[in-house]
Amino acid sequence: MPVNEEFKPTIVAFCCNWCSYAGADLSGTNRLQYPANVKIIRIPCSCRLNPMFILRAFQRGADGVILCGCHPGDCHYTTGNYYARRRMTLLFSMLDFLGIERERTRVEWVSAAEGAKFAATMNDFSATIHKLGPNRRLEDLRCRKD
Amino acid sequence: MQERLKQKAIQLLENGTVDRILGWKTGEFFYDLTPAVFTTREQIEKDFVFNVFSGANLSKYLIAESRKGGKIAAFIKPCDSYSFQQLLKEHRIWRDNVFVVGVQCDGMCDAAKLGDGVLSVKEDGENLIVETLYGEKTVAKADALADRCASCKSKKIVIFDELIGEQGEETENDRFGEVARLEAMTPEERYEFWRGELSRCIRCNACRNVCPACSCEKCVFDNANSGVRNKAAADSFEENMFHIIRAFHVTGRCTDCGECSRVCPQNIPLHLLNRKMIKDINELYGEYQAGADMDTKPPLTNYTVDDCEPSIVHERGGL
């Protein structure tokens, strides 16, 4: 790997179809900038996020994983994000317990109207991961590209 | 105690209450007791064993045994009874086919704590008389208790048809001391600690196979597409992911019976991961003990509108 090449974090953003995915769309139509290395994956509800998806993303080379869903109380399926919230809290806590940097995972509630919040969140998250450097503690050496 | 259990087993068989008995027999070594099914009086008289090494949790075996037709009696210790009730709650055990004999438990011993060259162990009140290659010695039972029993959560048998010995109470032991010690470390130290522990994992899957909560018929680790199927440790990621997934799958269902750590051939303190989750659930969502009753909703299939946000992990600095 060339020494001077700047580190560009790979960020996987899981976005709820009913809010954050539309929010990302809105930030695009508003010409708001957010880093191109944020890879958005659409899911039907934040509750669809199997915790294993997060581990899988880290395995395949993600440096940070963020989940975006509807604000609690606004879930398209009424209660999905309440369950997701408990699950993610415990999963993040466990990752932290294992010594994985706690800044690498995040949950943010972004509605379909919050295009600006989406862009700001992604910029902020990307900057945080940039400071942290590449994910080395939860990577799969077999999946390393360099 | 062993004689009382034997008599009860024979009585249940002979009066036709059950046609099989689930208990323990000697395995490879005398301190290595293994679960076994007995069908005749002769077998019980010859092989049935119950002593300070009967640590194995029998409740998981009842998933398969209760479906075989006929009725089976099982000897259930206090911590096994939590697992048993948890499995009942999940509709895994056919209750009608099981006769539960609750057994008082005073803690099980860890043969590794008795030193080298142990030939036999006899109970004598509060002491163990240990015969070794180098002569006989007396060890206080309290000193040889398995770690999980030294911090026993409860002596209460939560579900039984018949009881041998005394019913106990929930205890006030501090189970979370070691978890708190790890929480106080920096993330780097924690990472080093877990790297040291988990890198010893040989992916034998013993923890999965023994765990009463890990009883899915189709397990994610048998799925070729899961990315964690390999039966050999391939690199650092493999063990990390295996243990994170396993701990998370039993979150909210783990009764903290400690079987995972008991069977681990590499002595990885796996129960710490489960206890961390139990501790978090207690702190964030209210006290919850899996298997303690049939009605309470498990924390991960429940919610309140005012639950904390996941960012609490950042704010509290590692809970």
Lowest mean pLDDT across A32-41, B13-22, B180-189, B234-243: B234-243
Contacts of A141 in chain B (CB under 8 A): 235-237
**pLDDT tens-digit series, residues B210-268:** 999 988 888 888 887 776 766 666 666 677 788 899 999 999 999 999 899 999 999 89
What is the structure's pLDDT at B277? 93
Query: What is the extent of the structural domain holding B76?
Result: 2-110+153-164
What is the structure's pLDDT at B236? 64
Closest residue in B to A86 (Cα) is B300
Same domain, B125 and B228: no
Cα B144 to Cα B80, B103, B141, B174, B276: the distances in Å are 20, 20, 5, 19, 25
A97/B182 CB distance under 8 A: yes
Q: Could you tell me what percent of chain B has a pLDDT over 90? A: 36
B319/A96 CB distance under 8 A: yes
DSSP string, chain A: --TTPPP---EEEEEETTTHHHHHHHHHHTT----TTEEEEEESSGGG--HHHHHHHHHTT-SEEEEEEPPTT--TTSSHHHHHHHHHHHHHHHHHHTT--GGGEEEEE--TT-HHHHHHHHHHHHHHHHHH-S--TT--GGG---
Under CATH, which architecture does the A11-133 domain have? 3-Layer(aba) Sandwich (3.40)
Question: In this structure, is residue B170 part of a structural domain?
Answer: no
Same domain, B74 and B124: no
The tokens for A81 are: 């994000």
Question: In this structure, is residue B171 part of a structural domain?
Answer: no
B311/A52 CB distance under 8 A: no
Same domain, B36 and B129: no
pLDDT at residue A49 above 60? yes
Work out the angle at residue B160's Cα, subtended by the Cα atoms of residues B7 and B51, and round it to the nearest 5 degrees. Answer: 45
pLDDT band at residue B319, thresholds of 50, 70 and 90?
A: very low
Residue window 8-67, chain B: list those with CB within 8 Å of chain A: none
Interface contact B134, partner A, CB < 8 A? no
Q: Could you tell me what percent of chain B has a pLDDT over 70? A: 96
Q: What is the ipTM of this complex?
A: 0.88
Domain ranges of chain A: 11-133
Same domain, B206 and B130: no
pLDDT at residue A67 above 60? yes
Same domain, B195 and B58: no
Same domain, B272 and B210: yes
Q: What is the mean pLDDT of residues B258-286?
A: 91
Q: Do the bridges between strand B72-76 and strand A11-16 make them parallel or antiparallel, or are there none, so unpaired? A: unpaired
Q: What is the mean pLDDT of residues B5-23?
A: 91
Interface contact B306, partner A, CB < 8 A? no
Same domain, B86 and B192: no
Same domain, B122 and B198: no
Q: Could you tell me what percent of chain A has a pLDDT over 90? A: 75
Specify which of B110-114, B249-253, B309-313 reaches the highest per-range mean pLDDT: B249-253
Cα B136 to Cα B121, B128, B129, B130: the distances in Å are 10, 10, 7, 6
**pLDDT tens-digit series, residues B118-128:** 888 888 888 88
Closest residue in A to B186 (Cα) is A99
Same domain, B292 and B182: yes
Average pLDDT of chain B, as a whole number: 88
Closest residue in A to B305 (Cα) is A82
Same domain, B118 and B73: no
Question: In this structure, is residue B172 part of a structural domain?
Answer: no
Instruction: Please count the structural domains in chain B.
Output: 3
What is the structure's pLDDT at A24? 94
Closest CA to A58 of A5, A121, A118, A132: A132
Separation CA A100–CA B187 (nearest Å) = 7
Mutate to test the interface with A, among B198, B272, B284, B303 (most CBs of A within 10 A): B303
Same domain, B184 and B310: yes
Same domain, B223 and B310: yes
Cα Rg, chain A, nearest whole Å: 15
Burial environment of residue A48 by CB neighbours within 10 A (0 to 12, 13 to 18, 19 or more): middle
Closest residue in B to A138 (Cα) is B237
**pLDDT tens-digit series, residues A128-146:** 999 998 888 887 766 676 6
pLDDT at residue B64 above 70? yes
B59 or B231, higher pLDDT: B59
What is the structure's pLDDT at B233? 60
